[in-house]
Each structure stands twice: as structure tokens, then as C-alpha cells.
Amino acid sequence: MRKLLALSLALLLCGGLFFIGTNNISTPPQIQQSSDIQVQSPASLPVEKVVVTQPHSSPAVPEPAEQIVVIERTDWKLDQPLQAQLTRLKNRADQGDLQAAYSLAMNLRFCAMTPLDETDLEARLQQAYQYKDDGVAIANIKERYEFCEGINQQQRDEFYFYLETAAKAGYVPAQEEMATVTPELFMQLAGATELERGAYIQKRNDFIQLQLSLLESASQHGSIKALIQLSNMHHSQNYGDHGRAKSYALNQLILELADDNELQSRYSWFVQRRQSELTPEQIEQAHTLSQQWLAMIKANGTLYLP
């Protein structure tokens, strides 16, 4: 244990932490793997505030939970037209209901790709007819239009506000979804496309850093989707130093947590392949950080399967 603590402190001092925002992880206590896994409904989802700590801050890992609880994902799809439920959802979201904020965001985003008015609807139907569609796409276009009818462009663009609100408040499904918002779309929604180059780059980079911190928060609460997204991002080596080593550590976590045979096979191959890309020291450091991250997940006591 002393050796592991010494290694972790050494990594902190030399700035070798692989994860952005993981500097709040100290050397984990010994934790027994729990064999008891419960399923919890979305209504009782744990919510944790996203806090950005300073690089020198290193609070202790919380006590491990007695067992890891598998969280069932919220079904955000509504069974009635959105217009009929918009006011109710907005009121709940504005009162701090994170599940309502997430559901509202997802439905508004669903409508973003739907015909805005009858003129737009006719144009899309005509395009489908030209492609000699068998009727499935045409029926789908009409169904989506009926669901979103009456929701104007400004309302549709509000999806980001509610998604970001829920994500920053610690709602894991919203944190996962934030990773699907491209920087270009964010800049457009923020009205920042005409900024001077330096200001544009800074705002865009700030958004990317927010995405990373939210994904890391989700992964600390056992989101395998977040772990996969982080692994892909870091393997691209476009998100800071030590990208391949970060990806390697994340892949070890995915192997540890995933119960899907396809994921197990895929990430086992990734781990084996990337061993040749790293030095023995990097592999050892990545393994240490992977175990620290796993201790945090066990301490939070939740697991979100893909």
C-alpha cells in the first residue's frame, strides 16, 4: 500500500496524471469486489454536482459502497406530441427536476431534425418520393412532423440549455449526451460563429474541456458509454498529452466493468494491441491510475451499462 501511495504522489508531483480532472483521486483503499448487483430505477438516480478542483487538490476517495447498483436508463421518448407536454416539462425542469430537463432536451433535439413547417414537410416528402421510397421513410417523416408540430426553431435550439443544465448538475445520461454535441454546433447555438479568431478558439476549447470534465464525472459514476467515448477521444491524441496511455487505462476499466461479450472481445484486443505502443513504465502508471479510477466507481456505487 505504501508503494502504491508513493507512486501516486510521484505521478502528481511530475504532472503525469493521465486524466483531465482526475486530480481529485487519491490512493484508493483496498476494496473488495462486490458480487451483489442491484437494479435501480431512474426515479432514484443519484445526483452529484460537477466540481472542478485545482491541480493541487487531492481529497480522499469516499468510502466504498456496499454494492454496485446498475442504474436503468430513463426512457425520454414521449407518447404524445411535444407541444401538449412542453409547458409541463419546462415547469418541472425549471424547478430543478433533472430527469425532466433531460427528457425535454432530448425531445427538443429530436425535433431539430424534423420539418419545421408544412413547406419544409412537403419538400422532404418530395425528396423521399424521388428516391422511390418504399413508404417507411415517408411514414417516418410524417410521424416525426406530427410529434414536433408547433415547436418553433428557437424552442428546438433550447435543447442545449436544458441538456447542459442537467449535465452540470450531475445527471449521468445528460453528461453522456453532451459528448454528442459537436463544437461547431455549440458555437452556432451560442451565437459565437463570428467571434474574432482568438476568442473563437478559446470559447471552442472551453467547450471541449467542459465535455471532457462531464464525461469524466459520468465515468466516475460507472458510465461505460462515457469510458468508451473518453477512450476514443484520448486515443486520437487530440486532447492533451499521453493520449495513448490514457486510452489504455480506460480500456482496462471497460474490460473490468463490461458484461457484454462483444465489448469484452473488442477491448481485450485493444488492450493487447496498445501494449506495444507504450513503455513498461507507461503501462504500469496507466494500470495504477485505472485502479484508482475503479476505486472511485466502486465508492460511488453505480454502474450505467451501454
| Contact present, 29 and 62 (Cβ < 8 Å) | no
pLDDT for residue 239: 82
pLDDT tens readout for residues 230-244: 999 988 888 878 888
pLDDT for residue 132: 67
pLDDT tens readout for residues 177-220: 999 999 999 999 999 999 999 999 999 999 999 999 999 999 99
| Contact present, 141 and 121 (Cβ < 8 Å) | yes
Question: Does residue 129 register a pLDDT over 50?
Answer: yes
228-262 burial by CB neighbour count: b if 16+ within 10 A, else e?
A: bbbbebbbeeebeebbbbbbbbbbbbbbebbeeee
- Rounded to whole angstroms, the Cα distance separating 216 from 227 reads 8
Residue 69, beta-bridge partner list:
38, 302
Rounded to 5 degrees, φ, ψ at 25 are -105, 120
Overall pTM surpassing 0.85 (yes/no): no
| Contact present, 65 and 300 (Cβ < 8 Å) | yes
- Rounded to whole angstroms, the Cα distance separating 141 from 132 reads 14
pLDDT for residue 249: 92
pLDDT for residue 225: 95
- Burial environment of residue 263 by CB neighbours within 10 A (0 to 12, 13 to 18, 19 or more): middle
3-state secondary structure at position 23: coil
pLDDT for residue 130: 81
pLDDT tens readout for residues 4-41: 434 443 443 344 444 434 433 233 333 233 333 344 44
Instruction: Give residues with Cβ within 8 angstroms of 192, minimum separation 6.
Output: 199, 200, 203
pLDDT for residue 33: 34
User: Please, what is the average pLDDT of the chain?
Assistant: 81
pLDDT for residue 63: 58
Q: Which of the given ranges, 184-198, 224-238, 247-261, 268-282, has the highest pLDDT on average?
A: 184-198
| Contact present, 80 and 150 (Cβ < 8 Å) | no
